[in-house]
DNA sequence: GCGACAG
DNA sequence: ATCTTGTCGC
């Protein structure tokens, strides 16, 4: 099964288009997931003309396996993103800074056909190499992302490394901060009800 | 065999 | 991710 999933990721990585995000980002969205045992709570926070918050709740049984995070969180994240098509989607996890260049941000970007960037709190693969004052994440001699502060940013789909660097300069995205805060808040609400 | 290992 | 106390520092 794991072999099949890895093949799926290789197919996904072949569909990735690292092209410049030209359109102005009017609606920025961020998604995160919190857990209460086997119950997952996904929250999508969108900031644009109006502020939107979507949630999704459900059993998450697939185990956490480094490199296969998408199997655990992508399904419920997609539920929370139903009906939403942001100009840019930020995902808690890596994009192409992944063994098969197919982290959860990349999988979501390809499946939903939306520009995505992966923002992770820790490294999965690659080494940090400084160049021109920037800490690039290098994998197999290729720059696949950047480290800014304590976070790792990498292209998911439909964005360039330059777009990602630009985003990383803005500091940790508020939409992800909010998605993280709210997912944990809603989890607490579940414990009570 | 050993170390690394998103959330 | 989640489980958890105190402690160090701005």
CA of A118 to C1' of C4 (A): 29
**What is the arithmetic mean of pLDDT over A59-79?**
98
What range defines the domain where residue A13 resides? 2-192
- Angle, vertex CA A30, rays to CA A24 and CA A35, nearest 5: 175
CATH number, domain at A151?
A: 3.30.2170.10
CA of A33 to C1' of B3 (A): 29
pLDDT at A127: 96
- At A18-37, the pLDDT tens digits run 999 988 999 999 999 999 99
A151 Cβ within 7 A of any nucleic strand C atom: no
Which nucleotide has the least CA–C1' distance to A98? B6
DSSP string, A100-148: TS--HHHHHHHHHT--EEEEESS-SS-EEEEETTEEEEEETTEEEEEEE
Distances (CA, A) of A46 to A74, A79, A101, A160, A190: 18, 15, 26, 21, 22
**What is the arithmetic mean of pLDDT over A38-53?**
97
Q: Which of residues 52-71 of A touch strand B (CB under 7 A)?
A: 64, 66-70
Count of domains for chain A? 1
A127 Cβ within 7 A of any nucleic strand B atom: no
Question: β-pairing, A116-120 with A88-92?
Answer: parallel
Tell me if A120 sits within 8 A of A90, measured CB to CB: no
A187 Cβ within 7 A of any nucleic strand C atom: yes
Would you say residue A193 has pLDDT above 90? no
The encoded tokens of residue A15 equal: 């569909």
Q: For residue A156, what is the enclosing H or E element?
A: strand A151-157
Nucleotides in chain B near protein beta carbons (<7 Å): 5-7
Using 50, 70 and 90 to split pLDDT, how confident is the model at A54?
A: very high
Which among A89, A85, A92, A72 has a CA at the least distance from the CA of A157?
A89
Using 50, 70 and 90 to split pLDDT, how confident is the model at A101?
A: very high
């Amino acid at each position: 099964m794991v072999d099949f999933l890895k093949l799926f990721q290789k197919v996904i990585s072949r569909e990735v288009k690292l092209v410049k995000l030209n359109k102005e980002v009017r609606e920025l969205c961020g998604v995160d997931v919190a857990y209460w045992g086997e119950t997952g709570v996904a929250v999508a926070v969108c900031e644009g003309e109006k502020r939107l918050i979507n949630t999704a709740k459900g059993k998450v049984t697939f185990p956490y396996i480094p490199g296969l995070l998408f199997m655990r969180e992508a399904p419920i994240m997609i539920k929370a993103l139903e009906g939403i098509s942001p100009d840019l989607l930020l995902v808690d996890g890596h994009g192409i800074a992944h063994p098969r260049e197919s982290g959860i941000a990349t999988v979501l970007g390809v499946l939903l056909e939306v520009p995505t960037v992966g923002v992770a709190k820790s490294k999965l693969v690659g080494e940090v190499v400084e160049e021109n004052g920037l800490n690039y994440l290098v994998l197999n001699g290729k720059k696949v992302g950047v480290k800014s502060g304590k976070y790792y940013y990498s292209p998911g789909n439909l964005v360039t490394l330059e777009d990602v660097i630009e985003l990383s300069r803005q500091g940790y995205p508020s939409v992800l901060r909010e998605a993280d805060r709210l997912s944990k808040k809603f989890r607490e609400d579940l414990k009570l009800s």
